[in-house]
Chains A and B, each alone.
Chain A
Amino acid sequence: MTAEVAAAGTPASTTRRPGRRTLIVGTIALAALALGVGTAYFRGGGSDATRDGAALLALVLPDAQGQPQPLAQWRGKVLVVNFWATWCAPCREEMPQFVAAQTRDGGKGVQFVGIAVDDPEKVRSFVHEIGLNYPALIGGYGAIELSKTLGNDLAALPFTIILDRQGRVAHTQLGPLKSAKLDELLVRLLGAG
């Protein structure tokens, strides 16, 4: 949203050079409009959900073996993107339930993807330890900044975003995703075809 507002304000400030006061009032009006529109869309699962989903699907990150993996390869699936790290105990504790859900619902069209805010070496070690059955992409500490643009204002982990089959953000979760909540979301999103 911030980027959109900045972009919208730029032409007015460069082309016609209005008075400073006009400019400020104009920018505030624009911002208020953008805010109102943005909030309305978000509530209705519209623009923000679509834009954030598209931003995620546009990512290409290396996996634990160093191979670049575009998230777009999972377009059309119910995509559960989990930001995690080995230094985050609550993250590690919730991952076995993701492994189980991937096994149970993978064939129905769900794809879990982990984005690790961590070093590849530690990630490989943990992936091996718990027998992770979905991709562990390496985001490094930059992934925290990325998650902030997707609503993780406190930059804390775990942080999980679920996209529906149309690539829209259907759920965003800071902190562990309770097993019952995950199941309910997957039933709803997979059922929606």
Chain B
Amino acid sequence: MRLLAALLTLLAATAHAEGVASLAPKLLPPEQAFRLSARALDAGTIEARFDVADGYYLYRDKLRFTTAPVAAGDAVLPPGKPKHDAFFGDVETYRGEVVVRVPLAHTAAGQTLTLHADSQGCADVGVCYPPNPQQLTLKVPAAGGKPGAFVEPGRKGWFK
């Protein structure tokens, strides 16, 4: 029955979209425009990546990373490309691949961590997406162990 509901939602959305004079068919949903993945590098460090699709950009100062149950320290963000914003002044943006290091407040060796990532970005064609909170679950290696595999956020959705 849930599957059916999902199908109906899809059909309804399709019908609705027909009437929107818009860029919609050309635009990616935010989770595809800004693909998040992360891995535990070692027992005290998380590496998060955003793979930003061509024609899209993320705002550096809108990136936030937190972890639980072991808390994260300040994320180490690479420098972005300076951009002057008429309202907010000088800001920095990211395109392409963005690699962020998130140090943990103390070791989480062998634990399972939840990483929360907030991001916000726009498309060059002239639309912006609202702040996008995402989360994923990481297995942290034992002390001295190898980095974990990259993990992506679970599919939000209809079929779960």
Using a CB–CB cutoff of 8 Å, the interface residues on chain A facing chain B are 1-2, 5-6, 24, 27-28, 31, 35, 38-39, 42-43, 48-49, 85-92, 117, 126, 129, 141, 144, 151-158, 169, 171-176
Other A-B pairs, 15, CB within 8 Å; known A43-B18, A91-B128: A5-B12, A24-B1, A31-B11, A49-B19, A87-B120, A126-B87, A153-B17, A153-B20, A154-B27, A155-B30, A155-B129, A156-B127, A171-B21, A175-B125, A176-B126
Q: Is the CB of A90 within 8 A of B126?
A: yes
Q: Does residue B8 face the partner (Cβ distance < 8 Å to A)?
A: yes
Q: How far is the CA of A151 from the CA of B24 in the complex (A)?
A: 10
Q: How far is the CA of A5 from the CA of B8 in the complex (A)?
A: 8
Task: Identify which of A48, A92, A174 contacts B87 (C-beta below 8 A).
Answer: A92
| Pairs of residues from A and B, 4 with the lowest C-beta to C-beta distance, nearest first | A174-B22, A88-B128, A90-B126, A1-B12
Q: How far is the CA of A35 from the CA of B18 in the complex (A)?
A: 12
Q: Does residue B151 face the partner (Cβ distance < 8 Å to A)?
A: no
Task: Identify which of B8, B12, B22, B123 contacts A173 (C-beta below 8 A).
Answer: B22
Q: Is the CB of A90 within 8 A of B128?
A: yes
Q: Is the CB of B12 within 8 A of A2?
A: yes
Q: Is the CB of B86 within 8 A of A85?
A: no
Q: Does residue B111 face the partner (Cβ distance < 8 Å to A)?
A: no
Q: How far is the CA of A11 from the CA of B110 in the complex (A)?
A: 52
Task: Identify which of A42, A92, A141 contacts B18 (C-beta below 8 A).
Answer: A42
- Counting chain B residues whose Cβ lies within 8 A of the other chain, the interface size class is 35 or more
Q: How far is the CA of A43 from the CA of B17 in the complex (A)?
A: 11
> Which chain B positions have C-beta within 8 A of A129?
87
How many residue-residue contacts, CB under 8 A, span A and B? 114
Using a CB–CB cutoff of 8 Å, the interface residues on chain B facing chain A are 1, 4-5, 7-9, 11-13, 15-24, 27, 29-30, 62, 85-88, 120, 122-123, 125-131
Whole-angstrom distance between the Cβ of B16 and the nearest chain A Cβ: 5
Q: Is the CB of B122 within 8 A of A38?
A: no
Whole-angstrom distance between the Cβ of A43 and the nearest chain B Cβ: 8
Instruction: Answer whether A89 and B23 are a contact pair too, CB < 8 Å, given A1-B16, A35-B12, A153-B17.
Output: no
Instruction: Answer whether A175 and B86 are a contact pair too, CB < 8 Å, given A2-B9, A35-B15, A90-B127.
Output: no
> Which chain B positions have C-beta within 8 A of A38?
12, 15
> Which chain A positions have C-beta within 8 A of B17?
151, 153
> Which chain B positions have C-beta within 8 A of A2?
8-9, 12
> Which chain A positions have C-beta within 8 A of B21?
171-173
Q: How far is the CA of A117 from the CA of B113 in the complex (A)?
A: 32
Q: How far is the CA of A39 from the CA of B18 in the complex (A)?
A: 8
Q: Is the CB of B122 within 8 A of A88?
A: yes
Q: Is the CB of B87 within 8 A of A141?
A: no
Q: How far is the CA of A129 from the CA of B87 in the complex (A)?
A: 9
Task: Identify which of B22, B87, B129 contacts A175 (C-beta below 8 A).
Answer: B22
